[in-house]
Structure 1
Amino acid sequence: MQDRTESESRRLLRRLRDTLAAPGDGQARLNSITHHIADSMRTQVCSIYLFRDPDTLELCATEGLRAQAVHKTRLRLGEGLVGRVARTGQPVNTANAPAQPGFRYMPETGEEVFPSFLGVPIQRVGEKLGVLVVQSREAREFSEDEVYGLEVAAMVLAEMAELGAFLGHGARPEHRLAAVFRGVPAQEGAAEGQVWLHEPRVVITNPVGDDPEKERARLAEAVAMLRQTVDEMVSSADLASDEGRGVLETYRMFTRSRSWLRRMEEDIDLGLSAEAAVDKEQSHARARLESTADPYLRERLHDLDDLWNRLLRILTGQGRDTGIPMPDNPILVARNIGPAELLEYGRRLRGVVLEDGSVGSHAAIVARTLAIPLVVHAGRITAEALSGDTILVDGDSGVVHLRPEDSVAAAFRERIAMQAKAMQRYAGLRDLPATTKCGTTLRLCMNAGLMADLPSLISSGAEGVGLFRTELQFLIRTRVPQRAELAASYRRVMDNARGRPVVFRTLDIGSDKILPYMKRIEEPNPAMGWRAIRVGLDKRGVLKMQLQALIRAAAGRELNVMFPFIADGDEFACARGMLTEQLEREAALGHQMPTAVKVGAMLETPSLAFASDGFFRSCDFISIGGNDLKQFFFAADRENERVRRRYDTLSLPYLGFIEMIVHRCAEHGVPLSFCGEDAGRPPEAAVLAALGLRTLSMRPASIGPVKALLRSIDLTALREVIEEGRALGVTCLRPAVTRFLADAG
């Protein structure tokens, strides 16, 4: 029986391959496919449902149902048995379809005389294309061999869709039509360029294998090469943590899994080529992992995809280097990307678009550092984009236009040109002070995290670095950096600052910033968990080493150290005590000491605003970390698009809280700054200045627009707008502030 099934399956796959090669349009191919599958499986019905849009399936071809239902019958994702297969990615096999929960009767199809139903997903590497269904008059469940055989046929259909066999029938966009993706903005800005795929999709041109023995041998040879590659990675890896080595060991164990290899060999026996068998196993495993409730297993998808893609590239010879030169204006498109990989591209990129990622991810931090627009959660863009496609990225709204129409591109270019003119105007203000019409002068600083940022210190007109993120030196490595490496890096930062002050924030890891060599702690809410100074006070060795490196880097110069995420005065006292200990240690060792040391706290939790007077007296400076403070004040996760935009920085309760902090610092003569995205937005910056803040720290590109606005307004008049809003009891000041700024020109 098994031999007959294998022989029949190979005959069917050859017929499907011949259909792909035959002349004719997409509809003719679909009609021929349903006929061949129904004939091979000895069923009265075979139907193909394809996605018309992400939520709608359409009957695109059938053998056995009424022809007039084709392109008329549609279902929503999850609706009926076909919709259930599409939603879950799992087969449905039943002898009595009408008795199944969620069954939907579609009278226009005439399917009521076919109670037996078997539906399997048509999918490729996590991308759902449609559903393949067979039905019969005989009330029976289909055998495991039949289910398996239909899955193999569905796999070939997915590959045929990849090759464009069904263009115009929902399975795959034409790669020529305009497409719009609505993602989540993670870094502001607008850019036009050409797509550069980080990992070009492997296209399988031979889904059917004629010689099973030859295909088995190809698979075995490729797996052996993969194992050798992984073994070399394990032996050469310089990893400081057990977890980092554990990940690679898991890679090695997976490549030696006999069940993994056996499943692919069984697919080959049924008629698939070696690469199609790998692709089928990847697609099925992805569907299983995506539906699991275990977050750890879902996170392993990226790791397993890497292994499968390595194996596919060995089999197909399609490396990452496709021979196409990188365009002059590349916009990177990827599922996801690590900080080190993104830094390798550097400032060549005009923008980045990711299918996954998050607003606070490592990639987002680097994109902000490089000042390039970033959009995340742009679903399915890697499947639809081709390297070289024209692409427009709107990092302000999170919208991406792929192969845009001329009218859309023209409007977009006009907007970019207006921004470029504005930047030229801002450049003329570089050496002028940020002095308002009422005579108040503000100090505008920049945020940084890499040596590549430092040239912006001079060109932007920043008066110093209000926040240097030291965690990036840790995030882009596969091991803990050595003290000497850190000291040399911090020394170069100070050298390039050319005498301007630099505030070094100590290691801020945890939450969304997990080091590659750090064991991940599963927490229900990591943003409010073990992170930043909490990690530093528990893992003192790393914090002490970093403090020693900072002291050595500042030899003969002023050192400014800021501790992140301080929630109460005792944490700050403990952290400051550690710094004092390291200063005494370094002095005892005979190292040259800083000329002065200033120690500050980052106020990111509401609790710290209510700390004792003693805490404020103990600080040399305080910086409001606006990004975290706002999410904790409003209880609105900044990674959650449903809630983060619901709450406005210019709400009066929040501004009242900021003003309370301003007053507390003023009482004790503590210098106060505001650091975060809101400091770089001109309307918000103006209101913060009106509340009494005199130092703002932002990304370099924001300094020009903020300075231009501050120099054009009277803070006394803006203050009157704030007080008027309070008297009227309004919740949000944005409409009133917008009117004030418009009147000011």
Structure 2
Amino acid sequence: MPERTESESRKLLRRLRDTLATPCKGQERLDRITHLIADSMRSQVCSIYLFRDADTLELCATEGLKAEAVHKTRLRMGEGLVGRVARSAQPVNTGNAPAERGFRFMPETGEEIYSSFLGVPIQRVGEKLGVLVVQSREARQFSEDEVYGLEVVAMVLAEMAELGAFLGDGEAMGRGHTNPVMIRASAGQEGAAEGRVWLHEPRVVVTNPVGDDPEKERARLHDAVDTLRDSVDQMLAHAHGGDKDHQQVLEAYRMFAHSRGWMRRMEEDIARGLSAEAAVEKEQSAARARLEQVPDPYLRDRLHDLDDLSNRLLRILTGQGQDTGAEMPENPVLVARNIGPAELLDYGRKLKGVVLEEGSVGSHAAIVARALAIPLVVHADRITTEALNGDPILVDGDQGIVHLRPDETVAGAFREKIAMQAEAQQRYSSLRNLPAEAKCGSRISLLMNAGLMADLPSLVNSGADGVGLFRTELQFLVRTRVPRRSELAAIYARVMDAAQGRPVIFRTLDIGSDKVLPYMKPQDEPNPAMGWRAIRVGLDKPGVLRMQLQALIRAAAGRPLSVMFPFIANAAEYTAARKALECALAHETALGRATPTAVEVGAMLETPSLAFAPNSFFEAADFISIGGNDLKQFFFAADRENERVRRRYDTLDVSYLALIEQIIDRCARAGTRLSFCGEDAGRPIDALTLAALGIRILSMRPASIGPVKHLIRRVNLKDLRAVIDAARGDGAQTVRPAVTAWLARQ
């Protein structure tokens, strides 16, 4: 077979573009494409396999294989040579397919007579869409030029798939992103919201993947790269003398922007017939595929640098992006792959909801969303691919469900849910100034969790008795450098002022696990939730802990101060942390500074080990707060970020309640105040059960205080305790059914 020339590549792409532009049904268009490619490459077979779901490829069109195999033949990821291409995102080129590792014979296709096989991934910026295959009877390997040509064709197919070229009965292009989509994800913050999509980083859509004039496209690329390099140089100039880590990131950007290899490859793509935009995206996809196979975490991180540069270059070439004048809708729902706390705070309360493709239920972005009372859904697979700016969207933060472009029936039912929630909140507001007192006379103190100044108005609005947990790490997370002691002291003082005499418990810096400071070198730990985090970091970095404790002391001058140390696993850690606070107090006194009128020092009980600490620990602690989120995951060995297991175990499981009762009993005998803090404290049935067991202080998000108070005021806790004891006596694994049934009778 003669070697293909550059003009032939461009000729094939133009024929492909014309085929894609012809109005016809999606299946007919796929059939035409396979015929065109087979004819152009002088091969007997061309087949297109597309992903049916995340793990399954389906033969969707073929020229040369048996027609009856279309939409019948399916392969799992990694199965056969096609599945191998899909998994590795790398071409497979062989002259003897049956002898290749992983070959799978599929008799229904009739492919046994074809020896040669070339498969390339159909992908778009790391998103795997399918596999494009050509085969021939002649036992030979395809040339390097043919492999490259097929990759270019696959790139165009990926772009056209993004534009909806293979959907239904529509026009040639532009019919994608019109159908309703429901995505099941994870609930990050409760609540429901209806609005319009606002993409944090709008996806650049390449509408002209084929370039007719290579010289013109090359000139466009050079102009855009010059603009990109100028912008990076300006960023570096502004960062000069500032944060070193930030400068290092920009230096990496500059290195990539001036890479001759990157530029040369894009120019070669243009010579083959791609437009400047398609050339940029092709190299971005190829780099992603290469780097995702690299085990070195540092090199994998460089993927983000290259992604960012490629996206900037694409925005320059296409004029797409938020800096082109697009206006945020009135009721925006933020959609992003991920987002940092500072960026989320920049949007503020104008957002109706947040949907993230990545993220986690315990991330700092989730904490900010809770502070702003914004419904949040995380792990929403492919949302940034499916959504466009302005799309109607419904966010169900209770169930972790997103409805994109919903039909009117779904939207109507959702609006009814929002109306019912608003009506319930109105009912709860009437209880604001009433105590959380059960019919038996037991009074429960309901405190709120906070972490931002934006939280503090909820103290009055929710009817909270105080702040049971103020997360101090958010002031560190939203900055690009370590905050100064004076800055922290001013923030903590404002928090105390806003509390207007109500108690505020400050938890010292809880970083590590899923909360990594932007200016702190990430620790490559296999299990960060059980790694170097919270008080472990504080004790290993005494200067940081001392600085924060001094800021708290100075903020509380003339007022009482409550400090709580997180993730205490044994008594020795609490003793060391308390000694650090006592030293800081002595230092401030020696300097003649005003000190707090009283100091309470507590510990968060988040590991089962601390429940078995010596009596001396329970006697030494001024108060203890059960950190339910972590304690539950460690008790059941169930990662709360893992959707397969995090809902598997119930808070009202009798074995877990037995541990809680042991803690209650030990605190009661030591005369130590006990509270329960976490998501479960804000779930009415769970909160009620904890109160019936003897916990008299619950700390939760502000929006949960009304529902919890409403339920507590309806019941007799002594009667509920009898129900719980009876269920345990009957051998129940969880008391939830018994508690729920009893409540239904009240």
Please report the TM-score for the alignment, with normalisation by the length of structure 2: 0.95
Contact 1:129 1:172 in 2 (8 A): no
Q: Distance in 1 between matches of 2:614 and 2:359?
A: 39
Q: Distance in 2 between matches of 1:603 and 1:238?
A: 44
Alignment partner of 1:450 out of 438, 449, 452: 452
Q: Which residue does the alignment assign to 2:366?
A: 364
**Residue 143 (structure 2) pairs with residue 119 (structure 1):** no
Deviates more, 1:421-430 or 1:362-371: 362-371
**Residue 458 (structure 2) pairs with residue 461 (structure 1):** no
Q: Distance in 2 between matches of 1:251 and 1:295?
A: 18
Q: Which residue does the alignment assign to 1:579?
A: 581
Q: Distance in 2 between matches of 1:644 and 1:443?
A: 28
Deviations 1:298-332 (A, max 9, x none): 55544432221111111112122454432222211
Q: Which residue does the alignment assign to 1:724?
A: 726
Contact 1:26 1:166 in 2 (8 A): yes
What secondary structure, in the 3-state scheme, does the structure 2 residue paired with 1:500 have? Answer: coil
Q: Which residue does the alignment assign to 1:177?
A: 179
Deviation at 1:381, TM superposition (A): 1.4
Contact 1:50 1:169 in 2 (8 A): no
Q: Residues 106-505 of structure 1 correspond to what in structure 2 (within 5 A)?
A: 106-168=106-168, 174-237=176-239, 243-321=245-323, 323-505=325-507
Deviates more, 1:692-701 or 1:347-356: 347-356
Q: Distance in 2 between matches of 1:676 and 1:451?
A: 20
Contact 1:173 1:384 in 2 (8 A): no
Q: Distance in 2 between matches of 1:606 and 1:69?
A: 57
Deviations 1:668-701 (A, max 9, x none): 2111111100100011111111111111100000
Q: Distance in 2 between matches of 1:703 and 1:297?
A: 46
Deviates more, 1:158-167 or 1:239-248: 239-248
Cα distance change on mapping 1:607 and 1:200 into 2, 3 Å? same
Q: Distance in 1 between matches of 2:101 and 2:266?
A: 33
Cα distance change on mapping 1:238 and 1:396 into 2, 3 Å? farther
- Please provide the CA RMSD for this pair: 2.3
Deviations 1:378-428 (A, max 9, x none): 111111112222222222222211122222222222222221111111000
Cα distance change on mapping 1:553 and 1:313 into 2, 3 Å? same
Q: Which residue does the alignment assign to 2:20?
A: 20
Q: Distance in 2 between matches of 1:87 and 1:406?
A: 39
Deviation at 1:2, TM superposition (A): 11
The AA in structure 1 aligned to 2:727 is G
What secondary structure, in the 3-state scheme, does the structure 1 residue paired with 2:641 have? Answer: coil
Cα distance change on mapping 1:151 and 1:594 into 2, 3 Å? same
What secondary structure, in the 3-state scheme, does the structure 2 residue paired with 1:737 have? Answer: helix
**Residue 650 (structure 2) pairs with residue 643 (structure 1):** no
Deviations 1:54-87 (A, max 9, x none): 4443333333334454445444444332233223
Deviations 1:309-357 (A, max 9, x none): 1111111121224544322222111111111111111111121111111
Deviation at 1:257, TM superposition (A): 2.5
Cα distance change on mapping 1:238 and 1:649 into 2, 3 Å? farther
Deviation at 1:213, TM superposition (A): 3.1
What secondary structure, in the 3-state scheme, does the structure 2 residue paired with 1:309 have? Answer: helix
Q: Distance in 1 between matches of 2:194 and 2:88?
A: 37
Deviation at 1:516, TM superposition (A): 0.3
The AA in structure 1 aligned to 2:659 is F
What secondary structure, in the 3-state scheme, does the structure 2 residue paired with 1:331 have? Answer: strand
Q: Distance in 1 between matches of 2:353 and 2:240?
A: 32
Contact 2:372 2:455 in 1 (8 A): yes
Contact 2:183 2:381 in 1 (8 A): yes
Q: Which residue does the alignment assign to 2:103?
A: 103
Q: Distance in 1 between matches of 2:28 and 2:215?
A: 33
Please report the TM-score for the alignment, with normalisation by the length of structure 1: 0.95
Deviates more, 1:330-339 or 1:509-518: 330-339
Contact 2:438 2:713 in 1 (8 A): yes
Contact 1:434 1:441 in 2 (8 A): yes
Contact 2:428 2:706 in 1 (8 A): yes
Q: Which residue does the alignment assign to 1:627?
A: 629
What secondary structure, in the 3-state scheme, does the structure 1 residue paired with 2:645 have? Answer: helix
- List alignment gaps of at least 5 residues for structure 1: none
Cα distance change on mapping 1:294 and 1:714 into 2, 3 Å? farther
The AA in structure 2 aligned to 1:83 is G
Q: Which residue does the alignment assign to 2:549?
A: 547
Q: Which residue does the alignment assign to 1:671?
A: 673
Deviations 1:449-475 (A, max 9, x none): 001011101000001000000000110
What secondary structure, in the 3-state scheme, does the structure 1 residue paired with 2:5 have? Answer: helix
Deviations 1:616-646 (A, max 9, x none): 2222211111111111111111111111111
Cα distance change on mapping 1:637 and 1:402 into 2, 3 Å? same
The AA in structure 1 aligned to 2:516 is I
Contact 1:238 1:478 in 2 (8 A): no
Q: Distance in 1 between matches of 2:447 and 2:204?
A: 46
Contact 1:91 1:121 in 2 (8 A): yes
**Residue 511 (structure 2) pairs with residue 509 (structure 1):** yes
Contact 1:78 1:86 in 2 (8 A): yes
What secondary structure, in the 3-state scheme, does the structure 1 residue paired with 2:307 have? Answer: helix
Deviations 1:684-735 (A, max 9, x none): 1111111111111000000000000100111101111122123223221111
What secondary structure, in the 3-state scheme, does the structure 2 residue paired with 1:643 have? Answer: coil
Deviations 1:656-677 (A, max 9, x none): 1111111111112111111100
Q: Distance in 2 between matches of 1:22 and 1:405?
A: 29
Q: Which residue does the alignment assign to 2:702?
A: 700
Deviates more, 1:59-68 or 1:730-739: 59-68
Alignment partner of 2:593 out of 591, 594, 614: 591
Contact 1:186 1:364 in 2 (8 A): yes
The AA in structure 2 aligned to 1:381 is I
Alignment partner of 1:680 out of 674, 679, 682: 682
Alignment partner of 1:524 out of 516, 523, 526: 526
Q: Distance in 1 between matches of 2:574 and 2:135?
A: 70
Contact 2:431 2:706 in 1 (8 A): yes
Deviation at 1:233, TM superposition (A): 3.0
Deviation at 1:9, TM superposition (A): 1.1
Deviation at 1:222, TM superposition (A): 2.2
Deviation at 1:569, TM superposition (A): 1.6
Contact 2:163 2:176 in 1 (8 A): no
Contact 2:4 2:145 in 1 (8 A): no
Deviates more, 1:410-419 or 1:149-158: 410-419
Deviation at 1:507, TM superposition (A): 0.6
Deviation at 1:238, TM superposition (A): 7.9
Q: Distance in 2 between matches of 1:494 and 1:392?
A: 37
Q: How many residues align?
A: 744
Deviates more, 1:229-238 or 1:539-548: 229-238
Q: Distance in 2 between matches of 1:265 and 1:603?
A: 60
Alignment partner of 1:566 out of 568, 578, 582: 568
Q: Distance in 1 between matches of 2:282 and 2:667?
A: 62
The AA in structure 1 aligned to 2:145 is D
Deviates more, 1:711-720 or 1:582-591: 582-591
- List alignment gaps of at least 5 residues for structure 2: none
Cα distance change on mapping 1:420 and 1:699 into 2, 3 Å? same
Identity of aligned residues (%): 74
